[in-house]
Structure 1
Amino acid sequence: MSRKKEHNRPLPAGPRPTGPKAFRRRLLAPVAVSVAVALALAGCSSSSSSSSSSPSSAPPSAQSAGTGSGSGTGQASSAPTAQPGGPNQLQDAYQRVIANVLPSVVQITTGESLGSGIVYDDKGDIVTNAHVVGTATTFTVTLANSSTPLDASLVASYPDSDLAVIRLGSPPGGLKPAVFGDSGKVQLGQITLAMGSPLGLSSSVTQGIVSATGRTVSEPQGGGSPGATIGNMVQTSAAINPGNSGGALVNLDSQVIGINTLAATEPQSNGAAAPGIGFAIPASTITSIADQLIKQGKVTNSGRAALGVVARSSFNQQFQPAGAVVVSVTPGGAAAAAGLQAGDVITKLGDTPIDSLNALTTALASLTPGSKVTVTYTRDGNSRTADVTLGTLATP
Structure 2
Amino acid sequence: MDVFLGRGRLFRSTGPLVALLCCAALLSGCSGSSSPKKAASASGDATAGAEDVSGGRQAVAPRSANALQDDYLRVIRDVLPSVVQIQGSNDLGSGVVYDDKGHIVTNAHVVGNEKRFRVTTAGSEGTFTATLVYSYPEQDLAVVKLDKVPHGLKPASLGDSEKVEVGQIVLAMGSPLGLSSSVTQGIVSATGRTVSEGSGGGGTGATIANMVQTSAAINPGNSGGALVNLDGQVIGIPTLAATDPQLGGSAAPGIGFAIPASMVGTIAGQIVKYGKVVDSGRAALGITGRTVVDADYQPAGVAVVVVRPGGPADEAGIRPGDIITRLGDTDITTITSLSEALAADRPGARTKVTFTRDGRRQTVDVTLGEQ
- When the two structures are superposed, what TM-score results if normalisation uses the length of structure 1? 0.81
Paired-residue identity, %:
60
Structure 1 gap segments, 5+ residues each: 2-16, 54-75
Rounded Cα–Cα distance in structure 1 between residues aligned with 2:154 and 2:320? 52
1:192 to 156, 161, 170: 170
| Alignment correspondent of 2:69 | 91
Indicate whether 1:248 and 2:226 are aligned: yes
CA contact (8 A) 1:29 1:39 kept: no
| Alignment correspondent of 1:131 | 109
Rounded Cα–Cα distance in structure 1 between residues aligned with 2:14 and 2:217? 18
Spell out, residue by residue over 1:50-71, the C-alpha distance to the aligned partner (whole angstroms, 9 max, x if none). 6x99xxxxxxxxxxxxxxxxxx
Once the two structures are overlaid, the 10-residue window that deviates more, 273-282 or 228-237, is 228-237
Aligned AA (2:329): D
Spell out, residue by residue over 1:63-88, the C-alpha distance to the aligned partner (whole angstroms, 9 max, x if none). xxxxxxxxxxxxx9xxx665446211
Residue 29 of structure 1, CA deviation: 4.5
| Alignment correspondent of 2:318 | 340
Indicate whether 1:120 and 2:101 are aligned: no
Rounded Cα–Cα distance in structure 2 between residues aligned with 1:274 and 1:243? 16
Aligned AA (2:267): I
1:24 to 2, 5, 8: 8
5 Å matches for 1:267-306?
267-306=245-284
Distance 1:212 1:372, change over 3 A: farther
Secondary structure in 2 matching 1:221: coil
Rounded Cα–Cα distance in structure 2 between residues aligned with 1:302 and 1:165? 15
Pair member with larger Rg: 2
Indicate whether 1:38 and 2:19 are aligned: yes
Secondary structure in 1 matching 2:194: strand
CA contact (8 A) 1:374 1:388 kept: yes
Rounded Cα–Cα distance in structure 1 between residues aligned with 2:312 and 2:210? 22
Rounded Cα–Cα distance in structure 2 between residues aligned with 1:39 and 1:19? 6
Rounded Cα–Cα distance in structure 2 between residues aligned with 1:205 and 1:379? 54
Distance 1:28 1:104, change over 3 A: farther
Indicate whether 1:368 and 2:349 are aligned: no
5 Å matches for 1:121-270?
121-270=99-248
Rounded Cα–Cα distance in structure 2 between residues aligned with 1:259 and 1:132? 12
CA contact (8 A) 2:291 2:302 kept: yes
- Structure with greater strand share of residues: 2
CA contact (8 A) 1:19 1:222 kept: no
Rounded Cα–Cα distance in structure 2 between residues aligned with 1:127 and 1:156? 10
| Alignment correspondent of 2:57 | none
Distance 1:25 1:311, change over 3 A: closer
| Alignment correspondent of 2:46 | none
Distance 1:287 1:121, change over 3 A: same
Residue 327 of structure 1, CA deviation: 2.8
| Alignment correspondent of 2:58 | none
- When the two structures are superposed, what TM-score results if normalisation uses the length of structure 2? 0.87
Rounded Cα–Cα distance in structure 2 between residues aligned with 1:111 and 1:326? 38
Aligned AA (2:220): P
Once the two structures are overlaid, the 10-residue window that deviates more, 224-233 or 178-187, is 224-233
CA contact (8 A) 2:304 2:320 kept: yes
Indicate whether 1:355 and 2:355 are aligned: no
Residue 385 of structure 1, CA deviation: 2.1
CA contact (8 A) 2:24 2:91 kept: no
CA contact (8 A) 1:199 1:243 kept: yes
Structure 2 gap segments, 5+ residues each: 44-63
Spell out, residue by residue over 1:213-272, the C-alpha distance to the aligned partner (whole angstroms, 9 max, x if none). 111111122233222121111111110000101100111111111101000112122221
Rounded Cα–Cα distance in structure 2 between residues aligned with 1:376 and 1:350? 8
Rounded Cα–Cα distance in structure 2 between residues aligned with 1:182 and 1:293? 20
5 Å matches for 1:371-382?
371-382=349-360
Residue 304 of structure 1, CA deviation: 0.7
Secondary structure in 2 matching 1:118: strand
Rounded Cα–Cα distance in structure 2 between residues aligned with 1:346 and 1:206? 43
Residue 280 of structure 1, CA deviation: 0.5
Once the two structures are overlaid, the 10-residue window that deviates more, 316-325 or 86-95, is 316-325
CA contact (8 A) 1:30 1:37 kept: no
Rounded Cα–Cα distance in structure 2 between residues aligned with 1:249 and 1:200? 18
